[in-house]
Amino acid sequence: MKFLFGWKGLTIAIIILFALIVILVVEVSNNRQVYVSDIDFEFSLNFGTYGRNNINTYEDTITKDLVSAGRLTVEYVLPEETKRKIFNMMKIKDFMSFSENLNVPIYDGYTKHLSLKVTIGGEEHTVRWNVPWDLEMVAKERMTIYHLGFLDIVEYISNQVYESPEWKTLPKSEGSYL
C-alpha cells in the first residue's frame, strides 16, 4: 500500500495543512491584543478632598494637595499595564456614554470634587461629580449605575496613584480643611 492515499493524496493533505496554517496565522494576527499605546488614550483625574489631587497622563504628572503648604506636582508615567487596565475598565463601563454631570441637586455638602477628562481615539469626554459628604452612610443607596461605575474607575485610578513610589515620596500634607 503506497502510503494511505498515495502521492497525490499526500500532496493534497500537505496543501490543506499549509492553507490551515496560513488561515490560523492570519486569524491570530487579526485578533492580537490591542495595546493602549496603539491608540490615543489619555486622561486627567482630579480626586481627593476638593479634587485638588491630580493624575495627568497627557503631561505624565501627579499633583498632591499639601493643604496649607500648597500643591506639589512631580513627573509620573503610569505603567502601560495599569493604563491598559484603566482603558479596559472604561470600555466595559462605557465611560464615554456617562453624563457630563453626575451631581444630584438635593445635596448641600460635598467633600470630594471629582473630575475625569478622557481622550479615546481623538474623542474627548469629561465627567464631573461633587460627591456627597454622607456617601458612605446613606448616599450609596441613591446612586445610579453611572455613579457606581464612575466611583469604581476613580477609586481604581486613585489607588494606583496612592500606591506608587512617586506618591509615597511626596511630603505629608500640612493643616486641614474645615
Each residue's pLDDT, cut to its tens digit, for the chain (178 residues) gives 455 556 666 677 677 766 666 565 555 444 444 445 557 899 999 998 889 999 999 999 999 999 999 999 999 999 999 999 999 999 999 999 999 998 876 556 667 889 999 999 999 999 999 887 666 665 666 778 898 899 999 999 999 999 999 999 999 999 888 7
**Identity (one letter) of the amino acid at 135?**
L
Q: Does domain 36-168 have CATH number 3.30.1560.10?
A: yes
- pTM (predicted TM-score): 0.75
Cβ neighbours for 164, distance < 8 A, ≥ 6 positions apart: 62, 76
Q: What is the CB neighbour count within 10 angstroms for residue 48?
A: 20
Please provide residue 91's backbone torsions phi and psi, each rounded to the nearest 5 degrees. -65, -45
- Positive or negative: CA dihedral 113, 55, 120, 124: positive
Round to whole Å and give the CA distance between 146 and 144: 5
